[in-house]
Amino acid sequence: MKKRCSLLTAFIFLFSSFIITAQNFNENSDRWVKGWTNFSPNKTDYPEAEEKLPNIIANHTYLRNDVVYLMSGDVYVINGASLTIQEGTIIRCDHENPASLIVTKGSKLIAAGTKAYPIVFTSNKAPKSRSNGDWGGIVIAGSGKVNTVSGNGLIEGNFKPQFSIYGGNQSEEETTIFSHVRIEFAGNTSKRKEGANGLSLYGIGTASIIDNVMVSYSGQDSFNFHGGKNNMQNLISLKAQDDDYQLSEGFKGNLDNVIAIRHPYITSPKGSYAVEVDGYNSDLGYIQPNAVTDVTITNATLVNLSDKTNYQHTTAAISATNSALIYVHNSKISGFSDVVKFDKSYTSLPLLQKAFMMDNSFFNIHGEGVMVANQTMKKTSLDILKYNRFTKSFVDVKELFNDPQSNVNPKFQLKKSLNTYMVMQ
């Protein structure tokens, strides 16, 4: 009798835990988004630049918030110098000579904004004339571990080679402090076909702080991580042309409170994903198989603002290549064709199950759920989506969420209770 009571108690506890988790998931508090973000940056009337930054910063430099700065061309922070930016500072970035900020290995960027006074990097064009890729982006090179044969690499984009090396053995390095920062209209492709993303982090160290960062209207990736190890939180990508979050070369870490807002008509010709995870760089090789990219994504909202008139233009939310490892927890995926797409490196169902796991999550898609290069696994691959809730048929974004298309503060709480949706079994 005692044994039966114990089992019943355990069942009630587990059932109660699921209900509590589901309720918390559906609330998915977005308070961290308020106060420092801007979902209509093309309408914002920023003050004109007053002082131009030098193209070489070789000494410790402090940017004050009572000056609006112009960044033009490539600006390098070198020789172990620190560039410190005061909260509330605005940096206007040149579109005629597309600006990029490159913080070289051994140097440091300290950009610690606040909720009331975020730091803003934005286009120097006038309001209503800005667009994806007006200027380059921000590149930070560190000395953390990178899964390449040499243990390092050269920053993408044909920057000056003497300033382009990244990677090493300083996995605990404080490469940067980057908090409450907005990056708007970066990702220029006219000057560089690759490497000019909103924020590119190379070989980042664990002591770095990256949180409360919003990248809007990037012409390439919003966030691009090459190797390194770090846990980041409160990241927003708004209507990127290419991927929202691209992780490669053995990056290891957790991304918590992540938002990607895409539009079916804003995409790259080669295909764009909310999350693209590449286990290693096939051109550079890798040190060892167990050092592939391994990322945990928690409390994510990955949304394509599609409806039944345009959803055919979407692809999978997540792309996994070269044996990358991904765990998705307590997240929402909506508006895409599928949840995840795997390349040919995933050759069997056991490998898929080892490489990808998703739990306590929700998805609203118009495809089958999983795309695999190995067609023999097509029927069995859906097994990896077990125990997540989903819509029986595709639902338009406005019908699914509270206020997803707001230009002030979009809300992605489900209109219906999570428990009303089906469970994948």
- Answer left, alpha or beta for residue 112, where phi above 0 means left and psi between -120 and 50 means alpha: beta
- Answer left, alpha or beta for residue 262, where phi above 0 means left and psi between -120 and 50 means alpha: beta
pTM of the model: 0.93
Domain spans in the chain, listed from the N-terminal domain onward: 243-425
d(CA 39, CA 44) in angstroms, rounded, equals 10
- The residues near 270 (Cβ < 8 Å, ≥ 6 apart) are none
For residue 98, what are its two tokens?
């597309």
pLDDT for res 26: 57
pLDDT for res 4: 38
d(CA 283, CA 9) in angstroms, rounded, equals 55
How do beta strands 356-359 and 199-204 pair? unpaired
pLDDT for res 277: 98
Q: Residue 385, Cα to own-chain centre: how many angstroms?
A: 22
Paired residues of 362 in beta bridges: 332, 389
Q: Are 328 and 358 in contact (CB under 8 A)?
A: yes
- Answer left, alpha or beta for residue 406, where phi above 0 means left and psi between -120 and 50 means alpha: beta
Task: Provide block-wise average pLDDT over 10 residues at a time, the chain (425 residues).
Answer: 40 40 57 96 98 98 98 98 98 98 98 98 98 98 92 93 96 97 97 94 98 98 97 98 96 98 88 94 73 96 96 95 96 97 93 95 96 84 92 96 94 92 87
d(CA 195, CA 399) in angstroms, rounded, equals 37
pLDDT for res 25: 58
HEC assignment per residue over the chain: CHHHHHHHHHHHHHHHHHHHHHHHHHHCCCHHHCCCCCCCHHHCCCCCCCEECCCEECCCEEECCCCCEEECCEEEECCCCEEEECCCCEEEECCCCCCEEEECCCCEEEEECCCCCCEEEEECCCCCCCCCCCCCEEEEECCCCCCCCCCCEECCCCCCHHHCEECCCCCCCCCEEEEEEEEECCCCCCCCCCCCCCEEEEEECCCCEEEEEEEECCCCCCEEEEEEECCEEEEEEECCCCCCEEEECCCEEEEEEEEEEECCCCCCCCCCCCEEEECCCCCCCCCCHHHCCEEEEEEEEEEECCCCCCHHHCCCCEEEECCCEEEEECCEEEEECCCEEECCCCCCHHHHHHHEEEECCEEEECCCCEEECCHHHCCCHHHHHCCCEECCCCCCHHHHEEECCCCCCCEEEECCCHHHCEECC
For residue 318, what are its two tokens?
């997540």
